[in-house]
Homo-oligomer: A and B are copies of this chain.
Amino acid sequence: MAKNAVRLNAEIFAAASAVGKKESNGPLGELFDLRDETDRFGQKTWEGAESEMQRMAFNTALAKAECHDADVGALFAGDLLNQCVGSAYGLLSFDIPYFGLYGACSTCAEGLLLASIMVSNAVFDICGAVTSSHYCSAERQYRTPLEYGAQRTPTAQWTVTGSGAFLVRDANRRTGMRASGAVIKRGMPGRAMEKGVNDAGNMGAAMAPAAQDTLVRFFQETGEAPENYDLIVTGDLGFEGGSILEDLMRAEGYPMGERYTDCGKLIYDRERQDVHGGGSGCGCSAVVLASYLLPRLERGELRRILFMSTGAMMSPDSIKQGQNIPAVAHLLEIERG
């Protein structure tokens, strides 16, 4: 049986976020690096706005690190748009080798995991990981154009308008450049699976079993347990999927208790912002990690966390064709450096 947990030693030495209006007005609003109350980022189309968020977020990460694109060995990027054009166009202006990813909302952890593997094994000295989602481009692609004013079901989640960008390097080689204080120590790639959920208005339920699978495999392989972590945080299971995951983990003998939360719960104010099931989208876990979790690790408020982005990999066509929703969850163990 192949071992799946991967030993890493990758310092996240810069991170940046760009978000839209609803995220700016949420509980974490003040923390994000770039905020555009128009959600347009100066572009004519929503897709263009999403690309521009990626460009700005990655540019900001480079600037924070005082790093140039020639220093970066490879970029790992993806998003929710058809053919991942958010990333393909957004990162065109950087002359950096480009690995396109599609992991739906798991892309943040997928990209960081691959980037960390690269720098931990000296394949490249520095790698970038970037991802994004945009409420307006996602709604018209996955559901209906905003102008239709479609009603949302109680379990439906709100796609985060946001992009997160990260730079990682071998944690043993901290010379010259600014240290962020967060090191990715281990990773566990997720397996794709589906457990019979085919309601695209309840993606939390579709993704929860994938999160459980990755967590349980990680605990079993490494001998760790939930109580060894200050925080266990999933990407965008939201309120519905998050509570399913808590039940599933309790049933497996790994109750997570108060230390468990989800980026989709943290980013909006449930009472005030009317987001039903919570936040979702590639950008959700990316901006919460970049601007809320990493700074808390840096300040020593958190010492050791498990961060897991969760993705639902159906398409509108596959749902219409009656298929269930396949999901995947990639896990990172991140420690204060």
Q: Which residues of A contact B (CB under 8 A)?
A: 1-4, 6, 45, 47-48, 70-74, 78, 80-85, 88-89, 91-92, 95-104, 110, 114, 117-118, 121, 123-126, 188-194, 311, 313-318, 321, 323, 326, 328
CA–CA, A115 and B324, complex, Å: 28
Task: Report how many copies the assembly holds.
Answer: 2
Given contacts A88-B192, A192-B88, A321-B48, contact A102 B73 (CB under 8 A): no
What is the distance, in angstroms, from A217's C-beta to the closest C-beta of chain B?
9
Most buried by B among A3, A97, A190, A314: A97
A192, B91: Cβ atoms under 8 Å? yes
Q: Could you pull out 14 A-B pairs where Cβ atoms are within 8 angstroms? A: A2-B73, A2-B124, A82-B315, A83-B102, A83-B314, A85-B314, A91-B192, A97-B188, A100-B101, A100-B103, A100-B311, A117-B118, A121-B121, A121-B123
CA–CA, A125 and B102, complex, Å: 24
B191, A82: Cβ atoms under 8 Å? no
Most buried by B among A48, A70, A81: A81
What is the distance, in angstroms, from A118's C-beta to the closest C-beta of chain B?
7
Given contacts A2-B72, A102-B102, contact A47 B114 (CB under 8 A): no
A95, B315: Cβ atoms under 8 Å? no
What is the distance, in angstroms, from A282's C-beta to the closest C-beta of chain B?
12
What is the distance, in angstroms, from A13's C-beta to the closest C-beta of chain B?
15
Contacts of A96 in B (CB 8 A): 191
Contacts of A126 in B (CB 8 A): 2
- Write the chain B residue with the least CB distance to A6: B123
A98, B189: Cβ atoms under 8 Å? yes
Partner pick for A89 among B91, B118, B326, CB 8 A cutoff = B326
B84, A4: Cβ atoms under 8 Å? no
- Write the chain B residue with the least CB distance to A111: B99
Contacts of A74 in B (CB 8 A): 4, 189
CA–CA, A114 and B113, complex, Å: 12
